[in-house]
Structure 1
Amino acid sequence: MNPKCRRLWFSLFLPLAVLSLHNEVFDEQLNIRSLPDGKVASRFSFTTVLVGASPPTPQNHSSQDDPRHYSLFPLALGQILHEYAVTEMHLTLNAGKWNYDHWGYPDEDGVGTGAELWAWMGDGAVSTVDERWRGLRNALAGLFCASLGSLDELRTTSPTMMFAPGALSNRTSTHSLRHASLPSEHVCTENLTPFLKLLPCKSLSGIATLLNPHRLFDADWHGMGLHVSWLPQQGVQVKLTFQTISDPLRPQSSSRDWSFASVFERTIQRSCPVATSSQIVVALPFGVPYTINPQPSLVDQGHAIFDVVQSGPLDVSLHWPSGFQYSTTRLAETTFSVRRTLKGYTQDNGQLSVLLRNDEDSPVNIAYLETMPWIIQLYLHTLTLEVDGVSRNDLLQNITYIPPVPHSRATLFQIVLQIPSRSTLKLTMDITKAFLRYTEHPPDAQRGWDLPPAVFVRLDGRPQRRIYAPALLVDLATPDFSMPYNVIIFTCSLIAFIFGSVFNYLTRRFIVLPVPS
């Protein structure tokens, strides 16, 4: 190309590229903290902000005039958000059970087992909210190679109290919530690959270099998340997160020391060139001697902060001179705990039991949500509340119940409870289990059906934190799937015997031989 033409080309298109980069901001951060039981909690966060943008409204979401040219913002995700007019969306894929008593509250609330998707979408479009919800989950299923298409109407509810929106772009128009969960869907390598493709630097540089699938999926707990929200003063924000609970004591039982090389089997060689900020925040131990290498760029309120852009190659390590002593005490911040079980030995009836313990000196108001598939029906008239063996139905403040419709709609059970100080509240309710057709059973019918985790939110003026109870496994009446095989074998054997005998008599020649005297 002629040098003059090349200079003209750059003079025309360089301002557009600079403008595009100026309107998109990408930040990445890694938070690491050591837990009392010797494990290490890590949270990767990759945030992209489309400055000055607003979510598409239902009236213009199908317009073809919006150019949608992005430099850092993930194009595949932006097209989905625009096509289905999504104002706010949250998707999580987790594997394992989060231990609140020993690990405390997670950095990201969505730690329920399996897949969970909820979104706020505006009304008033040509297509209904349910139609756009169907298209959204199918599009995300293709984007992340997950079975999100199974989050159909049989699992969809609208619990607005538990999943409040952060900000709505147009408060004059009404918005609707759609929520669904699939506890049997776990995160794996095929979900991590499209996750990395949404990052500007992929896994070639920056903090994303540490996302080693061999180590991430070997952790005691791991989960990834996609969070899309609208910040009124900034724009549309997309945050990709990955959380893990690693166990450095597993290979070496006497030392809780860790480093990037030991936890992730990788180190950071270079920073992401398009990242505005790239930080590593390490929570420093309190009250015990330790050694951290290399020296952090800044220490603020018990946290060591490393600037990846200025540090170059980086391998952070934390060493304790003294030996490790396992602690069974609960963390001070977890003053509220939940235990949820499903009782009963029959395959048609049972009882749901929930124990809520409050260790504070004052009563606590709790919002409790159950979203059951239609195969489980709750008997609301059997709901009982007990504190220390004494019936306390006065602690029930509000209740919302939408009964299931077989083969059509899930159960929504939402109540507000008050738990007295220093006490344990026991909630019980009888349930009935559906009798399914033999064609409705999954391939592993003998294993049982996974029930979504319950969700709890404190209503005491603090920033709302969702607490997830472990998922349950219910045993339904299962037919003997080996009986058709037995019938086929018996029938085939009988037919073979009859056919063989008849065919033998029809084709055999009988000759009378004289018996010599």
Structure 2
Amino acid sequence: MWRYFVVFLACLELKVSAEGRDSFHEQLLLKPLPSGKVLAHFQFVVQSNADFRQEEDFVHFHLFPRSLGQLISTYGVQELHVSLTQGLWRTEDWGYPVRSAPPGAEAYAWFATNSSLDERWRDVTNGLSGLLCASLSSINSAGTAQPRRTLEPEGLDQGNPSSRLRYSSLPREIVCTENLTPFKKLLPCSDKSGIAQLLSAKSVMDGVYRSLALHVRPICRVSSDIECTSLGLELSLSLTQVVDLLSYHSTPNWSLKKLFRSQLPSACPLATVSRAMVDITQNQTLYEASVTPKPSSTQVLTLFGHQHTLAVYDAHKINSSRPVNIIWRYSTPETYAKVPKPVFFIERLATGYGDQDGGLLVRLHNTHPDNTLSLTYMETTLWYFRLLLHTMQATVNGQPVDLWPNLTYVAAKDRKKPHQLEFDLQLPPSSVLEIRMEFDKAFQIWNEFPPDAHHGFYMSSGVARVLNLKSINASGLLGLPQSFVMPWQSSHESLLVHSPPLLIMLPTPDFSMPYNVICLSCTVVAIAFGSMHNLSIKRFTLQAAASTSLKDRILKLFRRGTAQS
């Protein structure tokens, strides 16, 4: 009897301790964009006291998803970032996103130790492929780079050298409903309650831009602990969507019912914070609009020197039987004002001609009239785009500039390693850095081509990190950082920007010729085999010819003529 009582107390203590380990926040940001589009950014954050250095912390789970926790613990992952994106974020028209992500799939991670990094990276991508139902398992050493300058840890710096970082991208990967379902299963309440109920597959797929992201980073358990003697883990799951309502409706007015075919439900029972926010920063300046019903409160945030005013709706105050429909109405006809150009943006073009000679043109723009931008830029291209480094030319406003002292280049190996180019730069005010480089297009084996070979091959997006945005009054920043409403807001003031990928044609064989040869060969073989087989199995017998008289023949012709008449 006492034995069962002791087991019961142990289980009760374990349950109470586990419940005190994790916290969950769910939030939705709605922001009107120019030309009638609406940005919707869902963010779900789970904080756990599990230390990635301690395996015993990943034995019992409460709110942190067990499948992801076991993956992190088994392969010693210290920080992980994954995104799946479909569509192109138009920075010059919409401003900066909440978090930049390239089209397709992007994944990079820091590991805790240096042992067997390539094998562990392969196992992690295979695990993520099954976890998110994506094609991340196709990531291999030929597409994996090791950035040294551009990417920085977002969590607590535990001495993360670049040697423990692995980065890869798949520009051709897209976002489907099969990715959304396992994404929602990672949430503590799934899509059964809370803000995640708005994530229906049809409403998400209707957007002109959609991006799923998963970010894991180490944090300090106690914010007041300066030395941070105890570590925790933060999981951030986000979905960013841009909806073009004018494609379906005649007016730019929008509501939750129009966007998601649903209303704001009550909070998830496990959530400490559950709220929806509407960015009303530009209200009464570029346009006049009203938001109904009245928000629970109003919050003002100062980010990168720019103030954002948010109307906050607390989902904890919403009755589960009476959801709230947030409605945005323009008081006057909306005027599509010209959006100020962002402080920094990237242009990227493919040059060259023919099936052998190709070229790359990159333009980095600094539109600020007074301040110099400190930035790093990275290009990673697969081995079949053979960069010719000696052809690289760089100019700033037409004047030659020397990038060689601050440039790092790692040459590719065929089918084993990609090209990697990184450099640091001080970009003067109101200037454009233009980089030109040539490359050769390599021949591939016929079975290395994708199913749609004539579609072309994608060159991965370039990545730039602007380091000194904190000292710039970047009023063109229309987005908010990842932890925009979190008390543990990141101290990193750098901005990550991705360029568009490029679609390039490589020398492609005529795949119709094998088909024609196969058809012709099969036809010849069938005819020859059929004739020989017919002759070999048919049995010939002699039959005496039936003799007929002249009288019978005449009667037969007469009967035939009678039948035809």
Per the normalisation by structure 2, the TM-score is 0.82
Aligned pair in 2 of structure 1 residues 98, 481: CA closer, same or farther (>3 Å)? Answer: same
Q: Which residue of 1 aligns with 2:246?
A: 249
Per-residue CA deviations over 1:212-234 (Å, capped at 9, x if unaligned) read 11011110100111000011244
- Residue of 321, 336, 344 corresponding to 1:326: 336
Mapping for residues 163-202 of structure 1, pairs under 5 Å: 163-168=151-156, 170-171=158-159, 176-202=164-190
For the residues of structure 1 that align with 2:347 and 2:61, how far apart are their CA atoms?
46
Q: Which residue of 2 aligns with 1:433?
A: 441
For the residues of structure 1 that align with 2:121 and 2:388, how far apart are their CA atoms?
30
Contact 1:122 1:129 in 2 (8 A): no
Contact 1:183 1:471 in 2 (8 A): yes
Q: Identity of counterpart residues, as a percentage?
A: 34
Per-residue CA deviations over 1:75-129 (Å, capped at 9, x if unaligned) read 11111110011110001000000111111111123x200111000002255xx11
Shift in Å, 1:499 = 5.1
Residue 47 of structure 1 aligns with an amino acid whose one-letter code is V
Q: Which residue of 2 aligns with 1:305?
A: 312
Residue 54 of structure 1 aligns with an amino acid whose one-letter code is D
Q: Which residue of 2 aligns with 1:278?
A: 274
Aligned pair in 2 of structure 1 residues 290, 8: CA closer, same or farther (>3 Å)? Answer: farther
For the residues of structure 2 that align with 1:501 and 1:421, how far apart are their CA atoms?
82
Shift in Å, 1:19 = 2.4
Mapping for residues 106-185 of structure 1, pairs under 5 Å: 106-109=97-100, 111-125=101-115, 128-168=116-156, 170-171=158-159, 176-185=164-173
Contact 1:158 1:177 in 2 (8 A): yes
CA RMSD of aligned residues (A): 2.9
Aligned pair in 2 of structure 1 residues 487, 420: CA closer, same or farther (>3 Å)? Answer: same
Contact 1:456 1:467 in 2 (8 A): yes
Per-residue CA deviations over 1:421-447 (Å, capped at 9, x if unaligned) read 223222110001110111111111111
Aligned pair in 2 of structure 1 residues 435, 294: CA closer, same or farther (>3 Å)? Answer: same
Contact 1:121 1:175 in 2 (8 A): no
Residue 374 in 1 paired to residue 388 in 2? no
Q: Which residue of 1 aligns with 2:226?
A: none
Aligned pair in 2 of structure 1 residues 308, 415: CA closer, same or farther (>3 Å)? Answer: same
- Residue of 481, 488, 491 corresponding to 2:511: 481
For the residues of structure 1 that align with 2:324 and 2:168, how far apart are their CA atoms?
40
Per-residue CA deviations over 1:318-360 (Å, capped at 9, x if unaligned) read 1112112334x2335x122221111122111111011222211
For the residues of structure 2 that align with 1:252 and 1:172, how far apart are their CA atoms?
50
Q: Which residue of 1 aligns with 2:502?
A: 472
SS at match of 1:446: helix
For the residues of structure 2 that align with 1:426 and 1:132, how far apart are their CA atoms?
38
For the residues of structure 2 that align with 1:478 and 1:171, how far apart are their CA atoms?
46
SS at match of 1:344: strand
Residue 331 of structure 2 aligns with an amino acid whose one-letter code is P
Contact 2:88 2:209 in 1 (8 A): yes
Residue 182 of structure 1 aligns with an amino acid whose one-letter code is L
For the residues of structure 1 that align with 2:426 and 2:403, how far apart are their CA atoms?
5
Aligned pair in 2 of structure 1 residues 502, 318: CA closer, same or farther (>3 Å)? Answer: closer
Q: Which residue of 2 aligns with 1:222?
A: 210
For the residues of structure 2 that align with 1:212 and 1:46, how far apart are their CA atoms?
16
Contact 2:265 2:318 in 1 (8 A): no
For the residues of structure 2 that align with 1:155 and 1:8, how far apart are their CA atoms?
54
Aligned pair in 2 of structure 1 residues 67, 468: CA closer, same or farther (>3 Å)? Answer: closer
For the residues of structure 2 that align with 1:441 and 1:241, how far apart are their CA atoms?
33
Q: Which residue of 1 aligns with 2:407?
A: 399
Mean Cα displacement is larger for which, 201-210 or 490-499?
490-499
Which stretches in structure 2 are left out of the alignment for 5+ residues? 223-231, 301-308, 471-492, 546-565
Contact 2:58 2:70 in 1 (8 A): no
Q: Which residue of 2 aligns with 1:35?
A: 33
Per-residue CA deviations over 1:265-320 (Å, capped at 9, x if unaligned) read 11133211111111111111242332211111111222111111013322211111
Per-residue CA deviations over 1:193-223 (Å, capped at 9, x if unaligned) read 1111111111111111111110111101001
Aligned pair in 2 of structure 1 residues 378, 17: CA closer, same or farther (>3 Å)? Answer: same
SS at match of 2:128: helix
Contact 2:349 2:362 in 1 (8 A): yes
Q: Which residue of 1 aligns with 2:372?
A: 363
Q: Which residue of 1 aligns with 2:416?
A: 408
Residue 46 of structure 2 aligns with an amino acid whose one-letter code is T
For the residues of structure 2 that align with 1:496 and 1:24, how far apart are their CA atoms?
70
Contact 2:86 2:175 in 1 (8 A): yes
- Residue of 54, 68, 85 corresponding to 1:94: 85
For the residues of structure 2 that align with 1:173 and 1:376, how far apart are their CA atoms?
28
For the residues of structure 2 that align with 1:24 and 1:509, how far apart are their CA atoms?
88
Per the normalisation by structure 1, the TM-score is 0.89
Q: Which residue of 1 aligns with 2:227?
A: none
Q: Which residue of 1 aligns with 2:201?
A: 213
Shift in Å, 1:9 = 8.9
Q: Between Structure 1 and Structure 2, how many residues are aligned?
A: 499
- Residue of 60, 64, 67 corresponding to 1:69: 60
Mapping for residues 409-424 of structure 1, pairs under 5 Å: 409-424=417-432
SS at match of 1:380: strand
For the residues of structure 1 that align with 2:375 and 2:419, how far apart are their CA atoms?
20
Shift in Å, 1:16 = 3.5
- Residue of 1, 18, 34 corresponding to 1:20: 18
SS at match of 1:154: helix
For the residues of structure 2 that align with 1:393 and 1:321, how far apart are their CA atoms?
51
Residue 247 of structure 2 aligns with an amino acid whose one-letter code is R
For the residues of structure 2 that align with 1:156 and 1:364, how far apart are their CA atoms?
29
Aligned pair in 2 of structure 1 residues 119, 503: CA closer, same or farther (>3 Å)? Answer: closer
For the residues of structure 1 that align with 2:358 and 2:430, how far apart are their CA atoms?
29
Rg comparison, structure with higher value = 2
Contact 1:397 1:417 in 2 (8 A): no
